[in-house]
Amino acid sequence: MAELAGRVALVSGAARGIGRGIAARFAAAGARVALIDALPDVHDVAAAIRSAGGMALSCCADIAEEDELEVALAGIEEEWGSVQILMNNAAVMPTGPLHETAIADFERCLAVNLRGTFLLSRAVIPGMLAAGRGCILHMASVTGLLGLPGLAIYSATKGALIALTRAMSTDYARYGIRVNSVSPGTIDTPMLHDFVAAQQNPAELLRQFAEMHPLRRIGQVEEVAEVCLFLASDRASFVTGSNYVVDGGLSVRGEQPQDESQLNTQES
Ligand SMILES: NC(=O)c1ccc[n+]([C@@H]2O[C@H](COP(=O)([O-])OP(=O)(O)OC[C@H]3O[C@@H](n4cnc5c(N)ncnc54)[C@H](O)[C@@H]3O)[C@@H](O)[C@H]2O)c1
């Protein structure tokens, strides 16, 4: 089903992980997809999408740097015109207790997760206003809703993106621009594997991450991409200002007894 046929979609952080999955899914749905990432691998990802019959172009740029973004966006616009769908996905995740966080790591996290989102949104909104329609998606996280250990600064940026979604949706609804966010639980990506690899027992930690989700596993990139496709499509034409949680039930889970098999949860 080519439900994004003719649309130009920009995906940040598309060289790997969730962004790569979203770019591939949008392209499979017929969109012309512009991939931006700080990693040069982004060019290989775009080439793979083209080999699969999709339309993709790639830009290697740091989304926190206005000059680099300007060059990237000018190239996209020259090739395809205005962006109709913006997926603000790129992020970095400093970890550890707040009092041990270096100021440079704090500032980098704000620069990528918030400034980059601001810069990209600011750049594409005039084209959406001129067209009288558009769709902006922010990749938030369940950490914007829940307290999870060692992620204070990252969580603060994700909570800010959820607030930004609400505020932007009210500013732009009257112009036909929908703004929504997506909050994944733990998803199988390089970001996750980099994080667990730095811990004492990565395999055990991955097992525990799976166990803490009521669906008893971590999520896959495609499961997040599917929700993003829905939100970007006309199927979500009356959806704006929402935060879609894609977390295997994690955020509705309260404290559980250690041994759930002792609970009588079957119908008698
Ligand atoms: N993996 C998870 O469990 C999980 C859970 C919740 C939310 N998320 C969010 O999903 C999004 C994608 O995460 P992921 O797990 O795929 O991460 P990832 O680290 O695997 O991929 C992120 C991509 O963003 C790019 N990037 C980072 N900084 C950039 C910058 N300044 N300019 C351009 N590109 C930059 C990286 O090079 C990388 O390709 C992020 O917003 C993340 O916070 C991830």
Residues identified as active-site: 154
Q: What is the reported pLDDT for 234?
A: 98
- pLDDT, tens only, 232-246: 999 999 999 999 999
Element (H, E) at 194: helix 190-197
Q: Dihedrals φ, ψ of 62, to 5°?
A: -90, 120
Ligand 1 centroid – CA 195 distance (Å): 12
Ligand 1 centroid – CA 89 distance (Å): 6
Q: Which CATH class is domain 8-184+219-246?
A: alpha beta
Pocket residues: Cβ below 6 A from ligand 1 = 12-13, 15-19, 36-39, 62-64, 89-93, 112, 116, 139, 141, 184, 186-187, 189-192
Q: 263 or 190: whose pLDDT is higher? A: 190
Q: What is the reported pLDDT for 266?
A: 62
Nearest CA to ligand 1 atom 11: 89
pLDDT for 1 beyond 70: no
The domain limits of the chain are 8-184+219-246
Alpha carbon distances (Å) from 86 to 56, 137, 219, 258: 14, 6, 23, 42
Ligand 1 centroid – CA 182 distance (Å): 13
Ligand 1 centroid – CA 266 distance (Å): 40
Best residue among 70, 107, 187 to mutate for probing ligand 1, ranked by most atoms within 8 Å of CB: 187
- pLDDT, tens only, 16-43: 999 999 999 999 999 999 999 999 999 9
Taking residues 223-228, report their average pLDDT.
Answer: 99
